[in-house]
Copies of this chain bind each other. A is one copy, B any other.
């Protein structure tokens, strides 16, 4: 019998031989990072958990790292890409729903009035998601999402959203995988939406994406074949404590390393830190208005104006020993295309 451990051992060995591992001599596995405490913290975690004889050694099968997506692996400003997707779906589906012309929140979306759209409430967005993300088979939704992700473009850089990935974080994903870690995306965004491009964009398989999700129902199509239909009901709200709970639900493990950038990642970082041994808890601070964006505490905003990253979170990071990544100071470059 070929045990999982043997396969893992061979994978790790092959990766170390072929790849830019932390132990490779003479090559920097994190070339887009400036030297400093953030880069060092990542390298230290890898050394501590993978080198034979280390007191904090973690067997390969137990190595797990989790990454928030929006604002941690790729750009989330000025609007989450998934919100853009949902609004685009309203426009695309409008011909099938003539009543939307007079029915809120669809009427506002169809008006194209950006200021009014920007004021839609969370409840409005939920209604939009239920109307555009449910009522079809899982395969139909996936194809629509993948098609959108391949074509839609961000306005500032005029590139597909899927190119607005932070190159330094891609290097972290690669480094950790080269050292036997499984790298999971743990997103407040929609699980199916992110799965539709995660393998292509991040090298992360569908089963390694945990996200918010709608319930699915098992139904029969016209030919009597069983299929899964997306229902307008939230199954997992993968934010805040939901991130810790769902990581455990999906993997049965607590991560050795977790990366986030907002209050939605707070419990994931805290729970990771509450484990024994070496644990890496990293919080990305968007403080680079020139190369990306500056928001949250970096923009000096009061709590009420910074929904995704309150100043209180920065204080907590300092108190609990989380490592803050300054985009401006720690990253040599932001995007692969630069």
Contacts and interface: CB of A to CB of B under 8 A. Distances in A.
Interface in A184-238: 191-192, 195, 199, 203-207, 209, 213, 215-218, 225-228, 235
Interface of A: 1-4, 6-7, 10-11, 14-15, 18-20, 61, 138, 170, 174, 177-178, 182, 191-192, 195, 199, 203-207, 209, 213, 215-218, 225-228, 235, 241, 244-245, 248-253, 267, 270-271, 274
Nearest to A242: B218
20 contacts: A1-B19, A1-B203, A2-B14, A2-B15, A3-B203, A4-B177, A7-B14, A10-B10, A10-B11, A10-B14, A182-B207, A191-B249, A191-B252, A207-B250, A207-B251, A215-B245, A216-B249, A217-B245, A218-B241, A226-B270
A248 B138 contact: yes
Contacts of A7: 11, 14-15, 177
A178 B2 contact: yes
A2 B174 contact: yes
A56 to B, nearest CB: 18
Contacts of A14: 2, 6-7, 10
Contacts of A217: 241, 245
B267 A174 contact: no
Contacts of A235: 249
Contacts of A270: 226
B1 A18 contact: no
Contacts of A178: 2
Given A7-B177, A138-B248, 16 more contacts: A1-B170, A2-B14, A2-B18, A3-B203, A6-B14, A7-B15, A182-B207, A206-B253, A207-B250, A213-B249, A215-B245, A216-B245, A217-B241, A218-B241, A226-B274, A227-B274
